[in-house]
Amino acid sequence: MSKPLIGLSLCRWQLKDRDEGWFHLVGEKYVKVITAYDAFPLAVPALGDELDIEPVLENVSGVLFSGSVSNIHPSFYGDEHEGCGLADKDRDATVLRLMAAAIERGIPVLGICRGIQEMNVLYGGTLHRQVHEVPGRLDHREIPEVEDNVCYAPVHSVKLTEGGILHGIHGVSELQVNSLHGQGIDRVGDGLLVEAVAPDGQVEAISVKGAKAFAVGVQWHPEYHPKENPDYDIFIRAFHTAVREYQQQKWG
């Protein structure tokens, strides 16, 4: 069997103030969490409604919706607020179409950080734009100006929902995870199940109820050196197992 293709969402940023100054980018750790598990990334440019997603859907066996320094624009979840930090409406428009179509077809889907927020918005949920300003919530943002092994170290626990997908994957009721996000889930979208919650009540993982295949989003970053962290490795392998099962079903 050939290596499965996994679609990988890109961001669209203008790095130079001219027409040809646009770039489509993704963090390397998202590339490596695909290649390190013997699959191949298929980059999906953030062209919004201009992008024909059919070739992606016809050729991939899974889709990974990556984290980003940008935030989902509030207009995509019915809020007139101007938003906080960098926005990327082209990615928003691309991802929401692609994620909906992939889940409908039964293509395995994994959302990480921004990806879980996109999944929640797709199903009609809303976001806290600044979790640390919500009364009673922890400051979930990354620690500034420290080495990666400190920044990405586990900093709080999450309680897994009994009988949920993550509970089944890990076989435990609690995990220790890293935390590098400013925004997070507020109202959970219709048709989504809460898979994990932080000690402060912040929803940290969700899944699509009744999905035909793996369709999970997590707020932490299991893509950071997953083979050095057994909990992250088990989770990432579960996604890749679903990808290979889809590949086998579709192509034999």
Enter the pTM of the model. Answer: 0.96
Which of 73, 170, 221, 240 is catalytic? The answer is 221
Sheet containing 192-197: give its strands across.
40-44, 5-9, 62-65, 109-112, 215-218, 203-208, 192-197, 156-160, 174-177
- β-strand 5-9 against 22-25: which pairing, if any? unpaired
Average pLDDT over residues 19-29: 90
pLDDT in tens, 144-201: 888 999 999 999 999 999 999 999 999 999 999 999 998 999 999 999 999 999 999 9
Average pLDDT over residues 128-141: 88
Whether residue 17 is predicted with pLDDT greater than 90 in this model: the reply is no
The count of structural domains within the chain is 1
Say whether 245 is catalytic.
no
Q: Which residues pair with 64 in a beta bridge?
A: 8, 110
Which of 113, 170, 195, 240 is catalytic? The answer is 113
CATH number for the domain harbouring residue 77: 3.40.50.880
Say whether 223 is catalytic.
yes
Say whether 11 is catalytic.
no
Which of 118, 142, 195, 223 is catalytic? The answer is 223
For residue 51, what are the domain limits?
A: 5-251
Find all residues with CB under 8 Å of 209, minimum gap 6, and list them: 191, 192, 193
Whether residue 28 is predicted with pLDDT greater than 90 in this model: the reply is yes
Q: Tell me the pLDDT of the chain averaged across its residues.
A: 94
Closest CA relative to residue 192, chosen from 242, 238, 240, 124:
124
